[in-house]
Each structure stands twice: as structure tokens, then as C-alpha cells.
Structure 1
Amino acid sequence: MLHTILTGLAMTLPADRPVEIVGHRGASHDAPENTVAAVKLAWDQKADAAEFDVYRTKDGKIVVIHDKDTKRTAGGVNKVVAESTLAELRALDVGAWKDKKYAGERIPTLAEVLATVPAGKSVFIEVKPGPEVVPELLAEMKAAGLPPERTPVISFNAGVIAAVKKARPDLPAYWIVSLNAAKDKTPPTAAELVTKAKEIRADGLDLSASPALDAEYAKVVRAAGLKLYVWTVNDVAVARRMVGLGVDGITTDRPGWLREQLAR
């Protein structure tokens, strides 16, 4: 009975509050992930925000890349990001693997990607390493001059979120957590996540859009005053279910396509 009532309440939310569409690694279905081309395409596809990943180079620069090394996206050329200089990484082609029309695309710096953000748009900056990169990250974000509400930091690493909030209480920070039962066996409960989120002063949660995230789960998160985002949704039925739960945003590889599908 409670489940039915909560589901009914959640289904009233979409009419009252829009859901943000976030391009995962840019518009990564159509362009090489985590490149300037992919992020610009996300804007062209009318994404509300773009999500991308960052690492720190050997010479202390923040670059946009998902993996700890370049093997997957640089045509097999394998350089560990943390052990390579920016110049070494910039010599690599990270576009040709996706499509020859993107040949010559380079690993971008955080500054280059932030420079693409149009007025009214946001970026979700996922920190892949640990808290040790936070000082350089925040320095580069400050230099970019974007309002803090448009540059939330996200991470699976709770220590990163805690470090960001300690240094910059005004900067939104969301803790990423997987609820994948097949991979993680027993997903954490909503109450457990809320407790930890409060401890690290997170402003919200960014959860995998799994069956474990139901109306009751979402209600507990939202009742705690936390934002709720979900990833990575490329299925219309799943996206509609997430909208029905009243999530704040949906991360997808196909922002333009998903927006069109949800509008039907």
C-alpha cells in the first residue's frame, strides 16, 4: 500500500519540475568521449549539462579522460595519465577510434572544456583519483570563473567529496554510488547512503539507475534534503521510470535523443 501511495506521489512530480538531461562524457554516443568535440555536441543536442572525468598529469595539470591510461581511447597507445606530462598526452589522437572524422581530437585540459560552457548550462566534473588532486582541481575551476552552482563536482570517492566541501562549501558536490546488485551483491540502503552523505557534507547523490532505486528509496534521499541524479540511462522506459521518481537529472550518452523520446 505504501509503495502504491509513494509511486503515485512521485508520478506527479514531472509536471511541476523539469528533469535535467546530462550528457555522459559529453554526447558520447555520437562523438569520442571526454573530448571538446563531445562536449560541444552535447550543447548542440541541447543537453542541460555535460558530465566528464578528470585526472591529474605528472606535471600537475587537470585533464579530461575517463581511464587511468590511454590504451582504450588512443588507438592502443598506452600511457598512464598520472605518469605522463600534459605534452606527452596531448600528442595522442583520441578521436580516430570513434570515427575518422574525429581524427586529430586531443585529450583536453579542464580549462579547455570549461571554456565551452554556454550561459545557462552546467558541467558535472567527475574526479577519478583521490583527494590529493583537489587543490589543483579547485584552482583551475576558480581560474575558469564559472559560478559554483554550474560546476558541481562528483566522485565515487567519498574522500574527494569531503575535501571539496571542506575547501569550498559553496561548491555543489555529489557522491556517486552504484546500486548494481549483480555487481555489488547487496546495494547500500537509502538510509545508509544518507548517513554517509551527511557525514561528508555531500549536497546530493548520483546513483546508478538500477531496480533498487524505487519510490521508497528516492523518497528517503529527497526527504534528507539531498539532490538525486542517476546514471547512465540510454533506455526510454528506464528514463521514464526515473522521471516518475522525481530525480533531479538523468545522465545519458544520447542527450538529444533522450530528450526527444521523453517529450513524446
Structure 2
Amino acid sequence: MSATILNGKAFAGRLLERVTEHVAVLKTEGIVPGLAVVLVGEDPPSQIYVRNKGIATKEAGMNSYEFRMPADTPEADLLAKVKELNADPAVNGILVQLPLPGHIDDKKVINTIAPEKDVDGFHILNVGRLATGQRAMVSCTPLGCLLLLRDHLGDLSGKDAVVIGRSNIVGKPMAQLLLGESCTVTIAHSRTKDLAEVVRRADIVVAAVGRPQMVPGDWIKPGATVIDVGINRVPAPEKGEGKTRVVGDVDYDSAVEVAGAITPVPGGVGPLTIACLLANTVTACCRANDLPEPEGLSV
């Protein structure tokens, strides 16, 4: 048995097509969604990510606003910029790129963003709304995982799901989303007793624990769907001294022989994040203008 490979890049492309189509519809009403990204400092990975977000936003036909601030920017100045963007009707989504310099309280910054413009889904009100089954902006990576699961499995009701990882960014919101789909959900982590047995009963496994290849194939129930959120760099001596390669939290080579479907790393969940960020921006724009939300891009 060999698993179906869930191609996140291809699925993200389809999501972006739907986003672009809906943006075109909004433009016929004289409405153009706008995404503002704020970058503080010069962290190289963050710079690449911000640039890619800007390119994707413009390609989808939306307005992209980018604000770069020096690493020594006072916290008060960053909060003032966020409040300025909150008040700007042309901006539907606000994203402050993390990590922030150590002198800035990231929680204070996140919770200063207007909840309806919080396209990262990190604001405490959005977290609470999601947990209580209310309409919320949802964190992009878990949203992408859910949309991918729906696309592959259809109705998720009644399925046994195990989420390995309890982070605020992925693990906890992923569990809430699966509960919203009427799954039976277990949140496990590195300290869970008999973790292998917990995972073996799952129809759906979402691995988001941040440990390279922690989940071997013999933990996977035959035919289960495996979503690997992990992005870990490990030594790759076959590529040369000091070289690395990217692996997930699941031992792909063994799991692919057991699972019914699995996301690869790279090329699985990663490409979905920006697609869902743009989907959230369109959703926020529709809500701000009391217009119907695009189907299949939100929960």
C-alpha cells in the first residue's frame, strides 16, 4: 500500500485561483481588498516571507501595503502604526510579521490589531470566538489544513482525529476546527503517555510538534490521512559538509507505505499559508462590506 500524496502546492494554487476570481467580482462593485504587512527589523527569513506575501497579494488583484520599520523602533511607535491601519478603510487585513525584536511585547501588538482585520487569527477575541463556535478569523496554517482535509475526505463528521502539538498557532486552533467538523479530537504532545497508541487509533493525524521525524510509520493506522505541519532542518551529509535538508514531524518514508494519504515536506502544508492569508483578507473584506463570503475559503 502506498499513500495518496496530498500536493499542497497544487491545492494552494486552486485556492489562489478562487481568491483571484472573488477579488474580480468585488472589483465590479468598486471594492478592492487591501492587505497591510508590517515588518520590524531585518530578519532575513521574515524579509523573504514579506516579499512573497506582497507578490501574491498583487497577483490576486488586491492592494498590498508594506511598512518596514527599523529593529530599534519603540513599541509605542509600532502600536501607533497598527492603530493607524485599524482606522484605514482601505486596509481589510493587518499582519505584523513575527518574530518581533525582544523589546516589543508581541501579545500587546497582536491584541491591538482590530479583530476584524486580524487575518493571522491570533487576536485573543478571534481565539475565543473560534473556541466557542462563533464566527472568527482563523489562523492560516490550521485553516489550510482543514480545507485540504475537506477537499480530500469530504465530510469529516465522526472521524477520530489526533493533533500532536499544543501551540497557540497550530495545535490548539487545529483541534477547535476539527471539533467544529464533528470529529472526535485528541490533543497529544511530546509528554503524552503511550503516544504511539493514541496516534494508532486516529483516522486523521495532524503532526505539529516541531520534532523532526518524531512520528514513525508504525504509529499510523493503515489508511489514515496524515497532515505533517512540521518544518525541521536536519543534517544532510550526502549533500556536502554542513548542508541540511528539510523534513517534517513524520517519518515520511515509512508513513507513506501505511497511510491512505499524506502531505510531503516540503510541498505539503507550507504553500497553503499564504493562500489562506489572502483568503482571510477577502473574507475580512466581504464581512466589512456586508457581502456574501466566498464559499470554501473560510469556516
Q: Please give the range of the TM-score, normalised by the shorter of the 2 chains.
A: 0.3 to 0.5
TM-score normalised to the size of structure 2?
0.35
Bigger radius of gyration: 2
